Structure 1
Amino acid sequence: MVFAAPNDALARAEGVLHTDPPPLQASVAHQVIGIWQRDWGDMSLALHHLRRARALAARADSAERESDVLGTLGVALVHAGRTRQGLAAFERGIERGTGHTRARVLYRRAYSWWVLGHHREALDDLRRAITVLRQADDVIWTARALTLRATVHLALGAVDRADADFTAAEALWDTTGQEHDKADAVESRGLAAFRSGDVPAALRLLDEAEERYAKLGTPTFMLDIRRCEVLMAAGLAPEALAEADAAITVLDGIGGQSTRKAELLLAAARAARLAGDPGTATARAALAVRLFAGQRRTWWEAHAQLVLTEARVATGRSSGRLVADAVRVAERLSSFGAPAAPEGWLLAGRIALDLHWAEDAERYLAVAARSRRRGPPLARMTGWAAQALWARATGSGRGVLEACRRGLDVLDDHRTTLGASELRARATAQGAELAALAQQVSLERGGPRQLLVWSERWRATVLSAPPTRPPADPALLSGLTAYREIAARAEGARMDGRPVPTLEREQRRLEREIRSRTLHIRGESPEDGDRFDVGRLLERLGDGRLVEIAVLDGRVQVLLCGGGRVRRFVGGPVAEAEREAEHVQAGLRRLAHPGADARLPVVEAVGLRLEGLLLGEAAAHLGSGPVVVVPPARLHQVPWALLPSLRERVLSVSPSASSWLRARETEPTAGGRHVLVRGPGLATGGAEVPEVAGRYGRPTVLEHEDARVPRVLEELDGAALAHIAAHGTFRADSPMFSSLRMADGPLIVHDFERLARSPYRIILSSCDTARLASVGADELLGLVAALLPLGTAGVVASSAPVNDEAVVALMLALHKGVSAGLSLAEALRDARAALPGDALHQATGWAFTAFGAA
């Protein structure tokens, strides 16, 4: 019962002991309590009960009973970090037992070999055990042994063998009532899906396993470790670090397994390194190394040493000793047949390159590059990164570009399996180095056109195709409805000054549930192979100009496209530009309130400095036509209309030149509707809406109770023009929950992604609707980023808080131009010019930006 209904088994065992049973029965009861404490409780209590169980088995003069207890005790001792004693217990158990009992002890020793990282020894014990267990027709233990063998195969990278064993084990589990083992099988399937490169399936299976464990009331430390691994591969390293640290706290609180603590520390170290926190990574990895060494787990120790060396390098250190450390780790990982070995060789090659040890670097990188043609996508990415660096070291610019292209193609294929736009955006971080390396080579050896092509290759790629629509999942739809209700109640309570901790906890829970379900979505089909064409861009620009801003080695590179050519200019340090952009945002926030006129000259002066940093001499070559600015993700907070050379121009902003081309060529839906929406709580009540409605004949106007999310989404789908006057909220902590406030609660990014086709043009008369989160390599998450790939050709939105009354004047002027046939960018330029000259209205005009090309 202990793995079918753990808590019931514990209660039954304790009940048996209260009846003063004979030694044989008492031995079984103590063993059950020991197993429960070993896997879900206090290791010291587990060892006490298991030693008592062995003593009672000896008193009962039952060699088979003693053998069985010794197998359980061996596992406990290994998990407690007492490896030598644990292996000795197994030896004694194998000597004492025969036939079927010995096979069970062999299975337990195989499990311990796997925990210790001795995979070949584990497979040998499993081979011997499975033969006997099958002969004895022991379905449960045969299924356990097959599941374990599959897990060992995964550790060695043999995914096909693992899949065969998992399939055989599942067929057996279906005939049993072993609920905990069934949950473990689902968890292991999740690991297999991850190893084969299917991240959405891995997340779905791990979540399913967690639900099964929750019903049994058992902790899930192994599951936590595996989910951390998947989260890191999905680009969610901060979440992985938080999960690992939380699990360590729980494990320490119950006095749990030392082995699991070491593995959780390793997961936390890897997550911290990927999250850009080398200090935390170093501390966690160093402790993991000590624990693994004390536990005699050399396979695991080598992996922890790899992360520790990577973390030290991330702090900016390079030395011959670090090269030697990396080589030693890579050799140990190679000797184990560990799939992580190429990472070790790549690390050694990187450090050697930093030290200008060309021959050593080439040797190490050549070994790492062998992984580029086999294994899961991220392993092949490692190989192509090594190949690119090797080509760089040998002076082959063409070789660098070819390796970068091949590596990014691998990651492209991987990203198409991800349905959630958040995962697709974050996964691009894996290709950031290759994209930057190709840009650097293009800057040094190619012309501006080649640099433009490579700047586009890995910029805002998530917007190149619509995200996979969430399925008609009743649980997801129910979760979204419940989330809106709770969020609306919490907002109302806050406005009334009432405490809302319970509502906020429930809101966070629903956010986690919604996010989890959307991350399970698998990509439906590969993205098309439409590559960026510079010639097509120049043709479509006509007399306009497109300014693409790249960042290389911390400095702005300005690529000015138009007039049939691409020219390059040099800007200033990007870090300085980011600081000035933050100052501008602070200034605009203050100017949104009356009485801050004295700040206007200060903000204008910052705009002048930003122009020098971001455009440089290109500002003098913009011509007289419209201008499209394509900034990197980290500079999307810049209010571009504030820059003096852009202030009076027809100006639009696009996440990439490719997305501008797609928007330029997007056609509106025939006979599309005009939809005007007024959300609650606006200071002006959305005063522009009634007057704007008169410009469009018989538009659909949604206000008061009609402005509820389901109805709003229904009307927005495929509309020609939408105007939404509502309070906007940008969620930097979770950009997919950025929202517009409707009558029944927030309309969030996840809601917009359910549209078959978003409005051709959309005007967001709200605060902060143009704010976007920079994630991955050069990707954006937020309201505008959600709309562009869904069929929206143009958006007007604000990047800062704005004054409601000043917005009304701007919106009325904007719609005057739009209704007369102007593009959004043309209408916004004219609307700014029509505003009063005071600071409040000027700041409002600068805060709004036209995105896209409509």
Structure 2
Amino acid sequence: MSAGSEAVLDLLPMVFAAPGEALAQATEVLDDRPPPLHASVAHQVIGIWQRDFGDLRLALRHLRRARDLAARADSADREADVLATLGVALVHAGRTRQGLEAFDRGVARGTGHTRARVLYRRAYVWWVLGRHSEALEDVRRAVPVLRQADDVIWTARALTLRATVHLALGAVERADADFSAAEVLWDTTGQEHDKADAVESRGLAAFRRGDIPAALRLLDEAEERYGKLGTPTFMLDIRRCEVLMAAGLAPEALAEADTAIARLDRIGGQSTRKAELLLAAARAARLTGDPHTALARAAVAVRLFAGQRRAWWETHARLVLIEARAGTGRRTGRMVADAAAVAERLRSFGSPAAPEASLLAGRIALALGRPADAERHLAVAARSRYGGPPLARMTGWAAQALRARAAGSGRGVLEACRRGLDVLDDHRMTLGASELRARATAQGTELAALAQEACLASGDPRRLLAWSERWRATVLSAPPTRPPADPALLSGLTAFREIAARAEGARQDGRPVPALDREQRRLEREIRSRTLRLRGAAPGTGDRFDPRALLARLGDGRLVELAVLDGRVHVLLCGAGRVRRYEAGRLADAVAEAEHVQAGLRRLAHPGGQARLPLVEAAGRRLEELLLGPAARHLGSGPVVVVPPASLHRVPWALLPSLRERVLSVSPSASSWLRAGAVRPPAGGRQVLVRGPGLATGGAEVPELAGRYGAPTVLEGGSARAARVLRELDGATLAHIAAHGAFRADSPLFSSLAMADGPLIVHDFERLARSPYRIILSCCDTARFASVGADELLGLVSALLPLGTAGVVACSAPVNDAAVVPLMLALHKGLDAGLSLAESLRDARSALPGDAVHQSTGWAFTAFGAA
């Protein structure tokens, strides 16, 4: 073969090493009027590029031309190679029959080494079609020939493909072995695109093992590699959507899938990938509680898969379609039969999703009052509880719990729920980011609800309390993983602070800041991406909640835990050695009333709102009836701790008449309150006072407090910079921070306090070795949270409690800045006298003037924790 021929043939491996360069060189070859053989190669290279990164219609045009030129060149192996490339493109275009026919001709025309390459590509097509046994058979035939020919690149591709097929069948260990063997081979090549694909595939393997942080890290690395090559890849989008959904980030998965579909449509890309993206979007929409969007996406996916003759994929899409229909409230016998048929087909394919379909059939049958049918399907689904990845085992335990409930076995329900939630606990603790831990709890919602329902039926309030605690504020049970040695994260946080400060300054000057806003959003994505990759500690959840320990600790106090079952509030009143249950109002009514109260407090924060005071007080009485009901008459005379569900975090509890004059604190869970009470203050008694910029009163309480405490660390003006503030806060006994607070409902861990050099965000606080023993946050919106997962809160206060803070005073509503100053001074007076935060806040409220502005200011502040 001449040097010129070898140079042209080198373009084929180049398209997966340097795609852009290969495209340019192939175009130059065609400009020189090459002989048929060289022209065939050039058209094939352009066709591959268009097939994988561009317009599929152009790809087919070039590949058909390459096939015709190969025939003119009278090279059977060249023709076989092009036919394989064309076959892949035809299948991706949805022309499955034509694609398989092209492969049949390619296998017949090719010989030896070339034929093995054709078999590998046909195996890839079988995988795309969901025909995994055929894929494994073709790879089995191809690999020995490729190895014998010392074809490192194609052997590595074949091993990577075989690993991917094993993953689809749930054989994770086999997949790992093939991925490892392929990685060794890739390291000897310069195939950069193939290497990126291998990293992406390893991310998929990590996901199948249940290692979400590793999956996110590897997919991010693959995206970076693809970005350097300038090659978009829709398979990566599909896989990222899978991981995001498993991480509890379904809204992000839906947005990513829809964006990728739009991008694919713009370039005229592969219809096979579009169908897979539609399936991902349908699943994400269902998980976000949007069954109508899920129905629309799944229906189109089913039609596309059917037209593409992709039965494996079509069956998975039909499962989502039935789930979406059930999500709209529809329950019919036909749906039971359809779900059972889907389950049977999935089992025949060897799909790990089969138990999910059986569970769905059982659920619908139960809803229709068909216990025999339900038992048959649930028994099949329950088999998955002892093996497979965490979420598959949870599916099995959910099925077992439903079986026990149908059989009237409360003990069986609780045992199944306990085992299932233990699986999820172990899974959550592999996640280092508090956000992922919080969102992952949503996957245990059904099990927790079934357990509480069984406890309610048993009539044992102490058992109901234990199960209410079992799945409440679990994120606070352990601090997030800290990455002190991650210079990229530190750099990102510093850059974010600088950009955010510049953007805020420009906005205050009335200047548009679109470029700064874009850069800020980019940095936020980068910071969040790095924190989500953090791995957690070893599996294990620590000590279980013990009601006896709580009752012993309470003394003459009472703890009021609010549990929600079937939309109603149940009050678990703990104290005087026992737990009593009372039924209060509807949760939806209480949430609506709390929003009305918030609106009233906003009005009262400004002079002239006095007339609304009676309305707000009346709303407080209604809230008490809805939230405490008869329990309000049995609170005793001692301190009260309120443990509300996440949906009620904005209730100003001090406004409720029976709580207004009490020593009152709020805790995300009884367990959290017990842990906070066990925290001991650090040695040294160091106080830190911080004044941020732009306050209406200038943080007027800080200078007076500085004189009261003798020699505290005072950070204000240029010294109130984020790095210095964090350094001084670490391990302090008391911190008082007067700084503007900003709550980010869209991204709660970017909620912030304004410092001299920009925002101090929750991600910053999570880096503290030990947050201050007591913290007082004297400005608006510092006690606002986002409710995520099953019953979790994300925000500034919830970030501090696991890090060593025993008590926080913060504000959940807009307040009058001037009225805050006397409240804070009175609060610190109580602390000087040796009182707790809750005792000091109670006395500070009573010391305020009786006008509406000061009263509403006192109600807006809450003591959290037990210090």
Distance 1:217 1:540 in 2: 62
Are residues 1:493 and 2:506 paired? Answer: yes
Distance 1:736 1:381 in 2: 28
Deviation at 1:220, TM superposition (A): 1.8
The residue that corresponds to 2:298 in the other structure is 285
The residue that corresponds to 2:175 in the other structure is 162
Distance 1:352 1:30 in 2: 56
The residue that corresponds to 1:311 in the other structure is 324
Deviation at 1:399, TM superposition (A): 0.5
**Does the CA contact (< 8 Å) of 2:426 and 2:541 recur in 1?**
no
The residue that corresponds to 2:400 in the other structure is 387
Are residues 1:713 and 2:726 paired? Answer: yes
Are residues 1:108 and 2:121 paired? Answer: yes
Are residues 1:779 and 2:787 paired? Answer: no
Are residues 1:367 and 2:380 paired? Answer: yes
> Secondary structure of the residue that 1:684 maps to in structure 2?
coil
Are residues 1:627 and 2:640 paired? Answer: yes
Deviation at 1:467, TM superposition (A): 1.0
Deviation at 1:324, TM superposition (A): 1.1
Distance 1:297 1:759 in 2: 58
The residue that corresponds to 2:25 in the other structure is 12
Identity fraction in percent: 83
AA aligned opposite 2:622? R
The residue that corresponds to 2:93 in the other structure is 80
Are residues 1:587 and 2:600 paired? Answer: yes
Distance 2:598 2:338 in 1: 46
Q: Deviations over 1:206-229 (max 9, x none)?
A: 000000000000112000000000
Deviation at 1:527, TM superposition (A): 4.3
The residue that corresponds to 1:408 in the other structure is 421
Deviation at 1:529, TM superposition (A): 2.5
**Does the CA contact (< 8 Å) of 1:470 and 1:753 recur in 2?**
no
The residue that corresponds to 1:344 in the other structure is 357
The residue that corresponds to 1:218 in the other structure is 231
Deviation at 1:672, TM superposition (A): 3.1
The residue that corresponds to 1:483 in the other structure is 496
Deviation at 1:280, TM superposition (A): 0.5
The residue that corresponds to 1:569 in the other structure is 582
Deviates more, 1:470-479 or 1:721-730: 470-479
Distance 2:408 2:368 in 1: 16
Distance 2:409 2:459 in 1: 13
The residue that corresponds to 2:15 in the other structure is 2
- State how 1:129-168 maps to structure 2 within 5 Å: 129-168=142-181
> Secondary structure of the residue that 1:701 maps to in structure 2?
strand
Are residues 1:197 and 2:236 paired? Answer: no
Are residues 1:188 and 2:201 paired? Answer: yes
Distance 1:526 1:394 in 2: 32
The residue that corresponds to 2:341 in the other structure is 328
The residue that corresponds to 1:207 in the other structure is 220
AA aligned opposite 2:34? P
Distance 1:493 1:842 in 2: 36
Deviation at 1:40, TM superposition (A): 0.6
**Does the CA contact (< 8 Å) of 1:465 and 1:527 recur in 2?**
no
Are residues 1:238 and 2:251 paired? Answer: yes
Deviation at 1:692, TM superposition (A): 1.1
**Does the CA contact (< 8 Å) of 1:483 and 1:510 recur in 2?**
yes
The residue that corresponds to 1:740 in the other structure is 753
1:91 to 104, 107, 110: 104
**Does the CA contact (< 8 Å) of 2:427 and 2:539 recur in 1?**
no
Distance 2:520 2:606 in 1: 31
The residue that corresponds to 1:606 in the other structure is 619
**Does the CA contact (< 8 Å) of 1:761 and 1:792 recur in 2?**
yes
The residue that corresponds to 2:4 in the other structure is none
Distance 1:438 1:480 in 2: 42
**Cα RMSD between the aligned structures?**
0.6
AA aligned opposite 1:280? T
The residue that corresponds to 1:470 in the other structure is 483
Deviates more, 1:797-806 or 1:724-733: 797-806
Distance 1:703 1:38 in 2: 60
**Does the CA contact (< 8 Å) of 1:584 and 1:607 recur in 2?**
yes
Distance 1:149 1:835 in 2: 73
Deviation at 1:586, TM superposition (A): 1.0
Q: Deviations over 1:119-148 (max 9, x none)?
A: 000000000000100010000000000000
> Secondary structure of the residue that 2:214 maps to in structure 1?
helix
> Secondary structure of the residue that 1:821 maps to in structure 2?
coil
Q: Deviations over 1:729-773 (max 9, x none)?
A: 000000000000000100000000000000000000111010011
AA aligned opposite 1:603? V
> Secondary structure of the residue that 1:550 maps to in structure 2?
strand
The residue that corresponds to 2:808 in the other structure is 795
Q: Deviations over 1:144-202 (max 9, x none)?
A: 00000000000000000000000000000000000000000000000000000100000
Are residues 1:177 and 2:201 paired? Answer: no
Deviation at 1:812, TM superposition (A): 0.7
The residue that corresponds to 2:859 in the other structure is 846
The residue that corresponds to 1:727 in the other structure is 740
Deviation at 1:524, TM superposition (A): 2.6
> Secondary structure of the residue that 2:485 maps to in structure 1?
coil
2:822 to 798, 809, 813: 809
Distance 1:527 1:396 in 2: 28
The residue that corresponds to 2:462 in the other structure is 449
Distance 1:509 1:137 in 2: 44
> Secondary structure of the residue that 2:813 maps to in structure 1?
coil
The residue that corresponds to 1:28 in the other structure is 41
Deviation at 1:696, TM superposition (A): 1.4
Deviation at 1:803, TM superposition (A): 1.2
AA aligned opposite 1:433? E
Deviation at 1:587, TM superposition (A): 1.0
Deviation at 1:597, TM superposition (A): 1.1
Q: Deviations over 1:387-427 (max 9, x none)?
A: 00011111111100000000000000001100000000000
> Secondary structure of the residue that 1:557 maps to in structure 2?
strand
Distance 1:738 1:586 in 2: 21
AA aligned opposite 1:325? D
The residue that corresponds to 2:471 in the other structure is 458
**Does the CA contact (< 8 Å) of 2:742 and 2:751 recur in 1?**
yes
**Does the CA contact (< 8 Å) of 2:691 and 2:717 recur in 1?**
yes
**Does the CA contact (< 8 Å) of 1:268 and 1:281 recur in 2?**
yes
Q: Deviations over 1:810-842 (max 9, x none)?
A: 101111111111100000000000111111111
Deviation at 1:313, TM superposition (A): 0.2
Distance 2:220 2:402 in 1: 38
AA aligned opposite 2:578? R
Equivalent residue pairs, number: 854
AA aligned opposite 1:181? D
Q: Deviations over 1:489-544 (max 9, x none)?
A: 11111111110111111000000000000001000334453010101100100000
AA aligned opposite 1:114? W
Distance 1:820 1:692 in 2: 14
Q: Deviations over 1:451-492 (max 9, x none)?
A: 000000000001011111124211100000000000001111
**Does the CA contact (< 8 Å) of 1:159 and 1:196 recur in 2?**
yes
**Does the CA contact (< 8 Å) of 2:425 and 2:541 recur in 1?**
no
The residue that corresponds to 1:263 in the other structure is 276
AA aligned opposite 2:593? E
Unpaired stretches in structure 2, ≥5 consecutive residues = 1-13
Deviates more, 1:596-605 or 1:646-655: 596-605
Distance 2:438 2:540 in 1: 14
Deviation at 1:446, TM superposition (A): 3.9
Distance 2:108 2:685 in 1: 81
> Secondary structure of the residue that 2:530 maps to in structure 1?
helix
AA aligned opposite 1:99? G
AA aligned opposite 1:650? V
AA aligned opposite 2:49? W
AA aligned opposite 2:866? A
AA aligned opposite 1:542? G
Distance 2:233 2:815 in 1: 47
